[in-house]
Structure 1
Amino acid sequence: MGDKCRDDEQLMRHWRIKPPPHLAGTITCMPAAVANKPQITPGLVARAFQRIPLPHPRALVQPSNTTLVNLETIFSTQATPFTRTVTLLGQHVQLAIRPTTFTWTHGDGTTATTTTPGAPYPAKTITYRYPTTAHHLDIHVTITWAAHYRVNNGPTRPVPTTVTTTGPTTTLDVVEATPALSGTGH
């Protein structure tokens, strides 16, 4: 090959930048369209993913506002996968973003981690039984988001980082109920 390329190619030298020291690698002829296009790296995509505004959904609790000691209290949130397209170095990068874990803070010093967002009643997919009474518990959910990306409709690759968001607080009281008979004939 020498140091001559065809008219539709460009002579390129590969460099190794990381880990140091920087070393000159091989010399290659590359198609000019490829040689002149900046390369989107996983690190560049990871930094862009960290800057995307992600949802901060609220933890939903049922029953809401007040629950009973030893009653299954249902937890859920509204977090679903979505896509975003960003432009990096003049190229379109599509991110497929999805929630991967949900950490539920019950407000009484306990937490639980799940891989699903739960669902409202009657599903009961994520529940917690409060063992004692409490007032003004601060409930919230922390979500870890992951993503895959494609550059200019190319192959799909994983983004090498995750991003965590915490939703706003929901307040809950835990009370005891006392059974009482009522009505005629009692």
Structure 2
Amino acid sequence: MIATSGTSGDGRVIEVRDACGLGGEGVNVCYETATCTEDGEPGTFVDVYIDGEFSGKACLTPGIAENLAVITPGLVLREFERLTWPSSELQVQPVDQRTAVNWETFFFTDNTAPHTQTVTLLGQQVTIEATPSEYVYRFGEGASARTASPGGPYPRGDVTHVYRAKGSASPSVDTVYTGRYRVNGGQWIDIPAPLTVAGAPVTLQVIEIGPRLVTPPTD
């Protein structure tokens, strides 16, 4: 829920809150943040308070928020997208960057923990947390899989692919981050859109393995 404030040029305190209905005992209850558009820019529908008094409703876009010196999810989303977040390192089993035709090849990554960065926005300290929530595995021959699982090695891994022809493949894994933020150590607020970070491809050789007749050893 948005609940943040700033100070205007004439010293008035401007506070914006989600446009919510009142629940029991006068408590604000927001089941879903309402979105809106102002001059073609997406924003959030809010109640505006000036020096503690209700002033009216408005469509608060990141541009307007900057002018009012208030921090909104849309403003943090732009910072979330501007920052650099870790890409996932793809690991493959069998090892040594080789697999075989018609074998089950396992894919996984260790990038599962949240990452945080702290920035200064409009003079306030904002901590942004990005958590891997989904992975898009690209197997290098047109096939892909989107999953919440980071995969794993044999035998517990649940992200696998079977190559049907020998040759060279360039698999990779993209990371989908969901984010949240807090201002000056306050409550966490969700960032309204995810962010995808592309992973670097690895080179994988797909070879053929077949039976071969050999001469048995003699005593």
Which of the pair has the greater relative contact order for Cα pairs under 8 Å at 6+ separation? 1
> 1:18 and 1:165, CA in 2 relative to 1: closer, same or farther beyond 3 A?
closer
1:114 Cα deviation from its structure 2 partner = 1.0
Task: Indicate conservation of the 8 Å contact 1:139/1:171, yes or no.
Answer: yes
- What TM-score results when the alignment is normalised by the length of structure 1? 0.76
Alignment of 1:19-30 (within 5 A): 19=38, 28-30=50-52
Query: 2:37 & 2:142 partners in 1: Cα distance?
Result: 44
CA deviation digits over 1:4-58, x for unaligned, max 9? xxxxxx766889x9646xxxx9875339xxxxx9321111100110111111223
Specify the code of the residue in structure 2 equivalent to 1:38: A
The residue that corresponds to 1:74 in the other structure is 106
Who is 2:24 aligned against?
none
What SS is found at the alignment partner of 1:79?
coil
SS of the residue aligned with 1:97? strand
How well do the aligned residues superpose, as a CA RMSD in angstroms?
2.9
Instruction: Answer yes or no: is the 8 Å Cα contact 1:74–1:126 preserved in 2.
Output: yes
Q: Which residue of the partner structure matches residue 62 of structure 1?
A: 93
Instruction: Give the 3-state SS of the residue equivalent to 2:170 in structure 1.
Output: strand
Q: Percent of aligned positions with the same letter in both sequences?
A: 35
Counterparts of 2:158 and 2:78 in 1: how far apart (Å)? 34
Residue of structure 2 in register with 1:99 after alignment: 132
Q: CA 1:70/1:58 → structure 2, altered by over 3 Å: closer, same or farther?
A: same
Task: Work out whether residues 66 and 172 of structure 1, in 8 Å CA contact, stay in contact via their aligned partners in 2.
Answer: yes
CA–CA distance in structure 2, aligned partners of residues 27 and 54 of structure 1: 36
Is 1:46 the counterpart of 2:77 in the alignment?
yes
CA gap of 1:93–1:14, structure 2 versus 1, over 3 A, is closer
Aligned length: 165
How far residue 128 of structure 1 moved from its aligned partner, in angstroms, is 1.1
Equivalent residue letter for 1:101 = E
Question: Residue 159 of structure 1 corresponds to which residue in structure 2?
Answer: 191
